Amino acid sequence: MAGLFIAVMVVWPLVAVLVRSLAGVGPADVVRVLTRSSVRSVVGFTLLQAALSAAVTVVLGLPVAHLLARFRFRGKAVLRAAVVVPFVLPTVVVAAAIDAVFDRFGLRPATSTGSGVSLLAILYAHSFFNLAVVARLVGGYWAGLDHRQVEAARVLGAGRLEAWRSITLRQLRPAILGAALVVFLFSFTSFGVIRILGGLRTATIETEIYRYAIARAEFDTAAVLAGLQIVVVVLLSVLTSRFQRRFGVTSNRVPTTTVVRGPLRWYLASVVALVAAVQGFPVGLLVAGSLSADGRFSLIHYRALAERVDLLPTSALAALGNSLLFALGAAVVALVVGVSASIAVTSGGRIGRVLEAMTFVPLGVSAVTLGFGYLVGFAAFDLRQSIWLVPLAHAVVGLPFVVAAMVPTIRAIGPRVREAAGVLGASPTVVWRTIDWPIARRAAFTGAGFAAAVSLGEFGATSFLARGEASFTAPLAIFRLLSTPGAALRGQALALSVVVGLLVALLAAVLERRRSPGVTLL
């Protein structure tokens, strides 16, 4: 079942895009599209903003990673959660928060006609998202380093900065480069942030795929751009995997941490202030904007969510109801398929390894490319008008979370337990039902919960698949409201962003608290 689902919902759409971009268009047309000055400009800006986003996020994230890895202090768990939770917030919610920051200073990036302010807003949003990537990946590696070499260098007369640069930084280099590649990959495939904050003249490969496919109905050009993106993403994924293998195994020594006291409290305060400025300030302004009307405190924007406006096919509250329904459906599908895939993966063999690799493809390939693949791949079938395609697409994006949670848990079960059950006459089905599932159940539901959280904020694939009010979701409503001039519409966008962001943050916080030990989804 898992293999059939992945073949239909992952492999077939991507193959359809590649066939359309190569065989369906022709080599000459591919060259013609890629040599356009407008396309070269789009590709250049996509690479530029991704590279700058990675560099800025690494610079901002290293102090956070250092603090969480090397020090003990009161409130450490709260700070870690505050850094991680923004990573799972919907892109449109984050874009609305960053938009609120620039609006506060009279620099609305969404109405900017140039790329200067837009690029700054994009970098801010990507740093907001990916600070957790650097903190988790680099911080986790940093905590496991053997610091006896640094101590020996200090005894021999090396200064603190010299010892850090010559020893610690060299040890951290694979982790830093690996984290930078992950951030680059996420920024390269960013869609919602670019569409809202990019301004009128700012475009990336992601947004151009959407524009050519939906706004201009030039499927051939969109297919060429999607094929180019798939090639780049595959190369980035291979590089990322190589770096992750290099820093995946660290020292087995128990991490040594220092209690924060004395002058170190200033360091703690400065890092907390950094996190507050990058992640807390935009959220605060988002909430404040949703509760303000004509300069006074008001709940009018929240009450307006139940009202229908001509801009939307349904009310914002009804769109939120659709998102919740789709999230439930996506979680159920991801759970069922994820359990089946995890059984196949942990059974061993070449098929299991291939299936495991295919389940994680949606994490690397953008939802926009998948959404376009559904349009191209299912063109001969009457599926593109079905609202069921939306939760199925959301389940594809959420499936890796279920597999990532279940597979390590199942593999950690001692083989002697299963062997003992087999000796006593239990069939493989009985062994799974009485041993594996009770142990892996908690991890499975945790992964399904994260799949629901991802579904609530999914924007890329839904932009291609939504048809009418029955499939219109909250992220689509936020985008339309925020992209249309008017204080009342903007207030509704901020209010709906707060509601969606709060639901996702609460769900992620509960799941993070209840997840099984050893299960890491980020």
Stretch 247-266: mean pLDDT: 66
- Alpha-carbon gap, residue 370 to 389, rounded angstroms: 12
d(C-alpha 293, C-alpha 385), whole Å? 39
- 54 exposure class (CB count in 10 Å sphere: 0-12, 13-18, 19+): buried
Q: Which residue has the tokens 């079938």?
A: 381
Could you tell me which residues come within 8 angstroms of residue 327 by beta carbon, excluding any fewer than 6 positions away? 394, 452, 453, 455, 456
The answer on pLDDT for 512 being more than 80 is no
Which runs of consecutive H residues, i.e. helices, occur in 378-427? 389-411, 415-423
Confidence of residue 113 (pLDDT cuts 50, 70, 90): very low
Residue scoring higher pLDDT (485 or 396): 396
DSSP 484: S
* pTM of this structure: 0.83
Band (pLDDT 50/70/90 cuts) for residue 473 is very high
Determine the average pLDDT of the residues in 467-476.
Answer: 88
DSSP states of 498-516: HHHHHHHHHHHHHHHHHSP
Q: Is the pLDDT of residue 164 over 70?
A: no
Supply 6's token pair: 């992945």
Q: What does the DSSP 8-state code read for residue 318?
A: H
State pLDDT tens for residues 191-239.
889 988 886 678 888 888 888 888 777 887 888 888 888 888 878 777 7
> Which of 465, 491, 343, 349 lies closest to 396 in space, CA to CA?
465
Q: Which of 61-70, 230-239, 254-263, 511-520 shows the lowest per-residue confidence on average (mean pLDDT)?
A: 511-520
Instruction: In the chain, list all ranges with CATH 1.10.3720.10.
Output: 1-35+295-522, 41-290
What CA–CA distance (Å, rounded) separates 166 from 254?
Answer: 23
| C-beta atoms surrounding 43 within 10 Å | 18
Backbone angles phi, psi at 164, to 5 degrees: -70, -45
Kindly tell me the burial class for residue 94, based on how many C-beta atoms sit within 10 Å of its own C-beta (0-12, 13-18, 19 or more).
buried
Predicted pLDDT at 519: 54
Q: Place domain 1-35+295-522 in its CATH homologous superfamily.
A: MetI-like (1.10.3720.10)
Q: How confident is the model at residue 246 (pLDDT cuts 50, 70, 90)?
A: low
CATH superfamily of 41-290: MetI-like (1.10.3720.10)
> What's the confidence (pLDDT) of residue 482?
86
Band (514; pLDDT cuts 50, 70, 90): low
Find all residues with CB under 8 Å of 455, minimum gap 6, and list them.
323, 326, 327, 330, 331, 391, 394, 395, 397, 398
- Which whole-number Å values give the CA distances from 466 to 93, 312, 319, 373, in the listed order? 19, 12, 11, 14
